[in-house]
């Protein structure tokens, strides 16, 4: 096999080698006309020409790739995070190897073993549970790893998360400001840091705002899904405890809540106000448009990629985590409680 050279690429694209070189380097590419750059890159592709950055990586036995572990890409939370990760990695000449774990520990361990066999340089993990021996073990070993969205209970692992506690406080101030006193919480899974943080922040807000503190107002969902949201809402309604507003653990749980209200003829917001968490796409087109706490997902992705690349360059650097601010998006699912 003959390794193609820059000259071969230039010949095939019918440009001067210096032009080919500029076109192949992302930093100098803007100096070349887009049509020319496209032609050069096509020629490089057809010949299997190896840009220097990648050739260097192969020599140093680094793959310039990163494993990204998420529960399920079809959960609308993850595409913008993954897109952010990929955009930031691309700038640095890295690629993401995406893995869906479905929160199955065996599947996850298998996937991680296979990613490591492929020599990934690090991992970005969105599947963390509070207790997570696999992730804790990797971090202990010194393997470059960054968590997104969630944290572990015990280990100090770099993480990029949203400031969930402030987000819940914002949402609860909004609900209380409308005059609600009996606010229910459909809490997310308590084996995740997000589920736990949001429940704690809800309890804190109930105290701080002087709302009715009634344990019957809290129902747990076993997963961050619409189905579990429905199940939790059914349980809440079945308890017979009065309530005029619901803080859902996330938007999908809020959607399950909508389903139950629709079936039972409960009106939102006339009878019950509902608040979600995440601001996933198209919530503004729901009936009614959902009030929610916006998380900057794309930015979580880019920050996580930058943090991981820093760790890959310097494994001894002190651990650092990033907390991103949230904002409340007020739509039509929240209104004053019905007057008696």
Smaller CB separation from a second copy, 48 or 318? 48
Binding region for a second copy (CB under 8 A):
24, 26, 29, 34, 37-38, 41-42, 44-46, 48-51, 54-55, 65, 72-74, 76, 78-80, 82-83, 86-87, 95-100, 105-106, 109-110, 112-114, 116-118, 133-134, 137-138, 141, 255, 258, 281-282, 285-288
- CA distance linking residue 101 with residue 109, whole number of Å: 9
**Which residue is it, tokens 């608040």?**
275
**Which residue is it, tokens 């049509």?**
35
Which has the closest alpha carbon to 150: 193, 99, 191, 188? 193
Smaller CB separation from a second copy, 26 or 325? 26
Smaller CB separation from a second copy, 213 or 330? 330
Closest separation in Å from C-beta 244 to a second copy: 22
Smaller CB separation from a second copy, 80 or 337? 80
Smaller CB separation from a second copy, 2 or 340? 2
Closest separation in Å from C-beta 60 to a second copy: 14
Closest separation in Å from C-beta 321 to a second copy: 24
C-alpha 116, offset from chain centre = 22
Cross-strand bridge partners of residue 125: 69, 147
Closest separation in Å from C-beta 54 to a second copy: 5
Task: Please list, in sequence order, all residues whose beta carbon lies within 8 angstroms of the beta carbon of residue 34, skipping any fewer than 6 positions away.
Answer: none
Smaller CB separation from a second copy, 220 or 289? 289
- Which string of b and e fits 325-337 if b means at least 16 CB within 10 Å? ebebbebebbbeb
What is each CA distance from 293 to 101, 158, 171, 275, 340, in whole angstroms?
26, 24, 7, 8, 29
Closest separation in Å from C-beta 280 to a second copy: 8
Closest separation in Å from C-beta 235 to a second copy: 22
- CA distance linking residue 17 with residue 80, whole number of Å: 38
């Amino acid at each position: 096999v003959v390794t193609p050279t820059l000259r071969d690429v230039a010949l095939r694209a019918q440009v001067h080698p210096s032009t080919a070189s500029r076109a192949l380097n992302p930093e100098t590419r803007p100096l070349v006309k887009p049509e020319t750059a496209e032609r050069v890159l096509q020629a490089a592709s057809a010949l299997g020409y190896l840009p220097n950055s990648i050739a260097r990586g192969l020599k140093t036995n680094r793959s310039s790739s990163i494993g990204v572990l998420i529960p399920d890409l079809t959960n609308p939370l993850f595409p913008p995070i993954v897109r952010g990760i990929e955009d930031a990695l691309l700038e640095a000449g890295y690629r993401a190897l995406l893995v869906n774990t479905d929160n199955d520990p065996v599947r996850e361990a298998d996937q991680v073993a296979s990613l490591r066999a492929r020599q990934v340089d690090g991992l970005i993990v969105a599947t963390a549970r509070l207790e997570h021996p696999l992730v804790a073990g990797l971090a202990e070993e010194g393997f470059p790893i960054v968590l997104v969205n969630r944290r572990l209970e015990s280990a100090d692992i770099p993480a990029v998360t949203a400031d969930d506690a402030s987000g819940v406080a914002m949402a609860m101030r909004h609900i209380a400001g409308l005059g609600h006193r009996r606010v229910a919480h459909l809490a997310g899974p308590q084996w995740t840091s997000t589920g736990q943080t949001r429940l704690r922040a809800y309890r804190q807000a109930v105290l701080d705002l002087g709302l009715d503190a009634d344990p019957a107002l809290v129902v747990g969902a076993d997963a961050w899904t619409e189905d579990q949201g429905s199940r939790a809402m059914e349980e809440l309604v079945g308890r017979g405890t009065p309530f005029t507003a619901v803080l859902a653990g996330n938007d999908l749980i809020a959607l399950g809540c909508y389903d139950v209200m629709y079936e039972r003829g409960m009106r939102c917001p006339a009878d019950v106000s509902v608040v979600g968490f995440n601001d996933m796409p198209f919530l503004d087109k729901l009936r009614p448009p959902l009030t929610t706490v916006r998380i900057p997902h794309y930015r979580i992705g880019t920050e996580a990629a930058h943090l991981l690349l820093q760790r890959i360059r310097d494994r001894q650097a002190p651990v650092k985590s990033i907390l991103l601010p949230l904002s409340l998006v007020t739509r039509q699912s929240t209104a004053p409680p019905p007057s008696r």
